[in-house]
């Protein structure tokens, strides 16, 4: 058997975060959308995560370089 799926704990944690995203953003929540790249709600969730990751990195960069100027 191959290990192409993430560990069980990671799947359930991701499912909880996906459910919260759908609830807060008003998207339809379907468990079968998890990890399906062609699903529009999953695409929105991945874009949401990428946006917040970029924003977090920018904030950290600004904090780290605040005193260098």
pTM (two decimals)? 0.71
The mean pLDDT of 39-68, rounded to a whole number, is 82
Q: Using the predicted structure, report yes or no on whether residue 20 has a pLDDT greater than 60.
A: yes
With 90 as the cut, is the pLDDT of residue 66 above it? no
pLDDT at 55: 79
3-state secondary structure the chain: CCCCCCCHHHHHHHHHHHHHHHHHHCCCCCHHHCCCCCCHHHHHHHHHHHHHHHHHHHHHHHHHCCCCC
């Amino acid at each position: 058997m191959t290990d192409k799926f993430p560990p069980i704990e990671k799947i359930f944690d991701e499912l909880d975060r996906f459910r919260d995203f759908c609830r807060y953003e008003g998207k339809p929540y379907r468990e079968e959308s998890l990890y399906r790249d062609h699903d529009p709600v999953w695409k929105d969730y991945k874009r949401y995560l990428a946006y917040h990751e970029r924003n977090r990195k920018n904030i950290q960069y600004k904090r780290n370089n605040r005193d260098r100027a």
